[in-house]
Structure 1
């Protein structure tokens, strides 16, 4: 594969001179950990459906990744070849990425929820040479689909099955091959920290996903300041329930623990009781996930009165969507942990977080302040920077900005000065903290009046009967658009009417023209793997209903 990562080379000298790119890869981090603490537990992997837990030391990570790298080379995988993997948070995922980095191959993580439509597009676009899948996960036969895809995709040469029972299993093909007895070292390759190491597709909140290209330099330049901001050290234990096939899990659950020489605990299926058990047994001190995880954990602790079970947990970083004030307060009281709010993108990782020293209100009033090496600015439609507390387009210029979109450089949205147009609308206060107000495409314009979508959603989250809410436009012949509140209730037996919504918002002094005029109750909300609501699907649903009514 030839990677058109045109955004890396132009900023190399500046990033190196500023000390932000360290020319380091995960193999450098692994080797340091292997040499300094070989017997330390590096990884605990729990497979929920089989109730199997496995632990690995840094010595074992070093040895296993060497074996898997030899196995990949024996199958003709080499530098810049793409290996797609549709794996949950299993130890095989970590070993695979380490092996890829040893031979210069590029990993392409794919969410386990993807099916034929998404996978066909992504595998073809990435020209994947190998696909690694679980045999069965959550009652879905991934092996069967993988072989169907192989028969239809020309570049796809190999299928490897984790927990498979034939010669193409991960165990037989990549570990028990015996090649280490013949070859003491992997075939030498010429590589650098500027080479593409990860190809990951955007979550798709607005439609067709794009292939984001990252190098070790772009990834590491984010992970190191992130760990410093969170004051994470080698004695910390990190719980990662967020999918490693998403940027959150990949960067902070796979790479960061190895860089820190810390221990990570991988949870493949979210189960609150099991999470509490893992936190207690493994002495977890830090975790990062979206708001539903935080809500579940808080409710469980309140109901079970098991606060003492998680007293090692110091910090819960929440990202993916704004955290409602009520949830921050509930979580703080229930868990007695520091709640951190953060904002970022697949294209650059976490860009802003609140500080450990901040008052708790910062976690629900803001999305944080820029990390070291990251810059943010708010501009108007003419590209001019606006003053504090004025909303505008959020731009990011970060050491961790991606290398570009694979085969789509015209969509890179990065100007000659390195500023990336995020597509978000935000405000920034006079201390530098930002608050995401919504997406540019999120705007609802009712009769020429812009409705403050994020503000109304934030208020509705305070309603005791509302679990999830999304404000989306409803087509209207006269006004262009009206606002519809799409809501998932806390309890399906509860009742909620438009009149209830109107009164609730009027009681909070919301202008009448900002109040939703339609209400749609749904059983489930379409979400990306990172917990973001897919509003484009809701818009299509409402447009269809509108057409049916006409």
Structure 2
């Protein structure tokens, strides 16, 4: 794990940002206080309706069943599930046991899931038999001691008598490993402690308006923010949980009108897809009072459009590694909320390197990566995290992201590693060199755009031919480039590296 100055630890403890409370403690106290709060899953496949108390009983029976199978503090429990009740049960059960939970995005494919399971060597893996393109593949978890498949044998893991209390574990120790696509071909395992995750839960909850309403959560719970919004903040606040296992704008609008649910932001795509849907009417705006945007690029055209409809927009900036770095409150001046990524949040610190890269640190900054080499590259001895993003800070201390050093495209909140896509493109017989960058997207924030240089005497592939190839090699569909350009030569640095900054700027000029 990363090195951290002793005085920084003392400050976090003295300020109350780091406590002795574990995630299991946080959940247990919240569930005792609000056992009758509503918990619903809106799904065509596996709908469910009950209360926090009902889910807690399943979670505690699961915890007892896993405890009987030798699972306890520090053991790794992984799950790959859609936004279903069982995902909450696995997460809460892991916390009660003091185990390290590993949520996996439900649409990750065989390659990603296999890599993650190999990297964390879980004692337990819970998944679904089938959901959409996802299908349980038994050979991937053949070495996992305890496997449960929802819809098949998950209930066999439940003990008759629920676990009582919370097993003791070190609050400074790992509580969560969240995997996110990186600049290389493999996902990055980001390790959070009980202290960093607990602080982030309180920090993010503090950004939300008190009158935000009954939220619909469609962001996958395998994502860090989806997980926090679905399984931690509502328990802390005693607010209802409404999950959707797919994002269907028409269904969301129906739930707004029928059940009074609200959609309060996330990636910009969630808001724009509602506005652009044929079933949208001005009546729905009453359930879209706020739009807290982050997790992907936020085009000014989107924030302006939302504001003109009377929606209060506020933006934030962070990552899986450091979830809440800056953010605008919903009460901040409109020009700041619409056109910057906010000012520094309590406990967080930022500074800009000579090249404009944003360096950050704070009580919710992760412990490091499962890969020590990544940890060594990303953190310095004083506890600063190299974000890979370029930004500017205005006279009022508000940060604006202007570019990204890291090779990541954030499409609708999902990270896409450019290198993985480039390597797949290089398997095309006509392609000599490939570069993939982020392009602005009015709905999704960003999408992948591919630039290729051809081998002599070869014809350029069409966009459809490129997509057919990527489908054949098994690249997940959300990673497919949505633009394809052919260049005779790439812009390069003096050392010969492709200047992706120039490619991104060219796209931006073309889009404007």
Q: TM-score if structure 1 supplies the norm length?
A: 0.73
Partner-residue secondary structure (3-state), 2:71: coil
Partner-residue secondary structure (3-state), 2:359: strand
Which residue in the other structure is 2:145 paired with? 157
Larger radius of gyration: 1
Which residue in the other structure is 1:14 paired with? 11
Cα distance, 1:125 vs structure 2: 0.8
Q: How does 1:116-135 map to 2 (within 5 A)?
A: 116-135=110-129
Q: How does 1:28-177 map to 2 (within 5 A)?
A: 28-41=25-38, 43-48=39-44, 50=45, 52-142=46-136, 145=137, 147-151=138-142, 154=143, 156-164=144-152, 169-174=153-158, 177=159
1:14–1:279: structure 2 CA closer, same or farther, 3 Å change rule? same
1:473–1:278: structure 2 CA closer, same or farther, 3 Å change rule? same
1:358–1:467: structure 2 CA closer, same or farther, 3 Å change rule? closer
Which residue in the other structure is 1:223 paired with? 201
Which residue in the other structure is 2:341 paired with? 367
Stretches of structure 1 that go unaligned for 5 or more consecutive residues are: 382-391, 444-452, 478-486, 493-519
Query: For residues 149 and 75 of structure 1, what CA distance do their matches in structure 2 show?
Result: 21
Partner-residue secondary structure (3-state), 2:156: helix
2:179 and 2:187 in contact (8 A); partners too: yes
Which residue in the other structure is 2:327 paired with? 353
Aligned length: 451
Query: For residues 296 and 346 of structure 1, what CA distance do their matches in structure 2 show?
Result: 24
Partner-residue secondary structure (3-state), 2:113: helix
1:298 and 1:331 in contact (8 A); partners too: no
Query: For residues 31 and 125 of structure 1, what CA distance do their matches in structure 2 show?
Result: 30
Q: Is the aligned partner of 1:178 residue 2:160?
A: yes
1:227–1:289: structure 2 CA closer, same or farther, 3 Å change rule? same
Deviations 1:275-308 (A, max 9, x none): 12223344334533212222101112xx335332
Query: For residues 6 and 325 of structure 1, what CA distance do their matches in structure 2 show?
Result: 38
Query: For residues 120 and 337 of structure 1, what CA distance do their matches in structure 2 show?
Result: 42
Which residue in the other structure is 2:264 paired with? 287
Structure 1 residue corresponding to 2:298, chosen from 312, 323, 327? 323
Query: For residues 121 and 32 of structure 1, what CA distance do their matches in structure 2 show?
Result: 35
How much is the aligned-residue C-alpha RMSD, in angstroms?
A: 3.8
Query: For residues 39 and 208 of structure 1, what CA distance do their matches in structure 2 show?
Result: 42
Partner-residue secondary structure (3-state), 2:83: coil
Query: For residues 259 and 524 of structure 1, what CA distance do their matches in structure 2 show?
Result: 47
Partner-residue secondary structure (3-state), 1:427: strand
Partner-residue secondary structure (3-state), 1:350: coil
Cα distance, 1:213 vs structure 2: 0.7
1:471–1:173: structure 2 CA closer, same or farther, 3 Å change rule? closer
1:40 and 1:58 in contact (8 A); partners too: yes
Q: Is the aligned partner of 1:273 residue 2:250?
A: yes
Deviations 1:152-192 (A, max 9, x none): xx4x112210111xxxx212322xx4244xxx636x74313
Query: For residues 169 and 13 of structure 2, what CA distance do their matches in structure 1 show?
Result: 17
Deviations 1:234-291 (A, max 9, x none): x842221111101110122221111111112111101001112223344334533212
